[in-house]
């Protein structure tokens, strides 16, 4: 029996199941890989927002990582919610010893606007975590947090990408979903440039979009894609997931991670 490629997510838990570890593992399964997890935080979260968050000790994060990597091994890693400087530095140190590609989703705020990254951790993200990344996937709010560059129109995305690349990732994917018009993203390593466009779906149920995209990229990298191939495939997958997003609770529902299974 064939063993599927192994992908590790290092992220927080979303008790509502739409984002975080839960979204990551659903995405990894949907794309034919074996998902594994290192839990960094527990949140009380639903369709209305984040009601509470509790960070795990760095020792627990380190133990989970070593347990998985030393025995099972990984072919790609994705990081998500790392709420404190200590956690960012701990995970960055662990990633420095891994040869597999790393996708860093520098989660700053939730879909509902709840802060998930302490302001004091931003410098550690810039100087410790981003240099370990094969690909960084910030949205426009996260770009502004990390670099001070505010993207107001599509032409600003090149400047944003250059600023992110200045912190050391090999590739940057600037996600332009907050702009008007089509959903456009810019992928670049400073030399190559790939613009990815998709129609914008009239659906407010988009909880977990960022987690899902980053996890899809990691899964495709584990399957052997190049970075541009992985990002294009992930963009296609997340566009379908957004189109299928469904109501859950009284607020913003999740994207549909299993949309291909229902086609």
Positions marked catalytic: 175, 206, 208-211
Task: Say what angle helices 157-165 and 140-147 make with each other, to 10 degrees.
Answer: 50
User: 109: which 2 tokens?
Assistant: 């705020």
What is the distance between the alpha carbons of residues 173 and 175, in angstroms, rounded to a whole number? 6
Q: Let me know the angle formed at the C-alpha of 210 by 77 and 144, rounded to the nearest 5 degrees.
A: 105
Q: How far apart are CA 5 and CA 203, in angstroms?
A: 32
Kind of pairing between the strands at 49-55 and 34-46: antiparallel
Give me the phi and psi of 197, to 5 degrees please. -125, 145
């Amino acid at each position: 029996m064939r063993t599927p490629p192994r992908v590790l997510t290092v992220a927080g838990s979303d008790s509502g199941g739409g984002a975080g570890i839960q979204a990551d593992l659903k995405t990894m399964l949907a794309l034919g890989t074996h998902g594994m997890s290192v839990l960094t935080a527990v949140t009380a979260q639903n369709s209305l927002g984040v009601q509470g968050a509790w960070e795990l000790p760095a020792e627990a994060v380190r133990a989970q990582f070593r347990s998985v990597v030393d025995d099972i091994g990984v072919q790609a890693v994705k990081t998500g919610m790392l709420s404190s400087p200590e956690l960012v530095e701990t995970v960055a140190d662990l990633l420095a010893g891994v040869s597999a590609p790393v996708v860093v989703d520098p989660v700053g705020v939730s879909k509902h606007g709840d802060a998930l990254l302490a302001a004091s951790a931003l410098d550690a993200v810039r100087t410790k975590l981003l240099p370990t990344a094969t690909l960084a996937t910030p949205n426009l709010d996260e770009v502004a947090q990390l670099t001070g560059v505010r993207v107001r129109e599509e032409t600003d995305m090149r400047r944003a990408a250059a600023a992110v690349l200045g912190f050391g990732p090999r590739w940057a994917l600037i996600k332009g979903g907050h702009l008007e018009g089509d959903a456009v993203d810019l992928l670049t390593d400073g030399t190559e440039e790939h613009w990815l466009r998709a129609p914008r779906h009239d659906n407010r149920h988009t909880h977990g979009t960022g987690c899902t995209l980053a996890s899809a990229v990691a899964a495709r990298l584990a399957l052997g894609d190049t970075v541009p191939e992985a990002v294009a495939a992930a963009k296609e997958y997340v566009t379908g997931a957004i189109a299928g997003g469904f109501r859950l609770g009284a607020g913003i529902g999740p994207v549909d991670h299993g949309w291909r299974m229902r086609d």
